[in-house]
A and B are shown apart, each in its own frame.
Chain A
Amino acid sequence: MATLNDLKISEIKLSESEGGKWGMVIDQDICTGCQACVAACAMENNISFVGEVDAGYGRSMHWIRIERFWEGEYPEVKMTPNQPMMCQQCGAAPCEPVCPAFATVHSLAEKVNLQVYNRCVGTRYCANNCPYQVRSFNWRDYERPEPLPNQLNPDVTVRRRGIMEKCTFCIQRIHHAQDQAKAEGREVMDGEFTTACAQVCPANAITFGRMDDPQSLVSQLAKRRGGMKMHEDLGTLPVVTYFKGG
């Protein structure tokens, strides 16, 4: 029986050239800021609705958010391009080493950053250490009045108070597609499935797929000139590439 000790350190290490298995490209120039991705993500991943008061205090729970800023001084103001922000699934994630309970860990198979809900004790160190501030904490047990429970996605855990959560790249969809492909004796095809945010985006601003496959649409798009990784200087090796002003 394989135990944890059998895993070699070299297998765990993620080199820079590898760049993750799954990745995303976001084109800020065609993003309309319609927030459909925010809604779809909440539906897909059973994210709680925190209500007016808590949301007003900065406790809204979203795994993806659209950022936009004013630029310049009034009245000469311009809006910056919409910037969808979600977990960047860092190859060297700052959230991982600081968790005392191993509740946030790197998946060896999918090379994404996982949050183990039932292991989380709620120290919130990971959220402090996340340079992208994309983690959401369950400050309370939020109500889900009827008939909302009927809408819950059965493939995703419902979280309770006191634990941290964040974007998983819709890992339930990844697993579903892999199981399907395995049953049919083939590899997962590019574009066979996508994340909820990418699926719902009316402008096709979000593209998701295999980064380790040079033929995939997402790696072709990521290779274009002018791509930018968020806070690349920190060395966190994010797998989401942003394009703007192109």
Chain B
Amino acid sequence: MTSKNSCIEPENEGNLTDATRRDFLKQSTLLTAIALTPAPLVKAAENGWDEKIADVYEKVPVNIEVNGVKHQLSVEPRATLLDLLREQLDLTGTKKGCDYGQCGACTVHVDGHRVNSCLTLGVMVNGKKITTIEGLAKGDQLHPMQESFLKHDGFQCGYCTPGQIMSAVACIREGHANSATEIREYMSGNICRCGAYPNIISAIQEVKEGGQEV
């Protein structure tokens, strides 16, 4: 063993110098990187193509309007709308719960319809209008559904709340909030592990019965 810090060094590489080990690490890292690189990029690299050609595979221009503000973005095809909102636009009100379309914490409105932003690719909402929880209030004036969730204690930990509220607003707009039973069915895509369901239903019923514009 040439190195004193040999506790993780394989026995059969005893004659490697520090320098050659660094080279080995560099090379193997590079090989791993190539192995993880998408086929078109590797092909582009192998053929010595201009990197700009490879870039075409990487990012796609996306123009969207989020909460009334227009954005011109450059987006990887694999980025979900949820990640785009949170990571690129710093709109962290929309929550990542399960990230597999099972919990509803990521619910936003696309052109007025509620969807799971975790299963929506950012490139597929090009040209569309997105509303997130940050877009409901008018300045300091909370949306009636936000007020009602506060009044009825429609949450405990609050993690599912942005998704619950976006879904609740859509539930009323769709005309599916005419009874507690109907609300339960049409809010079933939003899971609350604290179990605030009865209060969430009360909050929605009050807004619905109050007849306020949502």
The answer to whether A and B come from one shared complex is no
Partner-A contacts on B (CB < 8 A): none
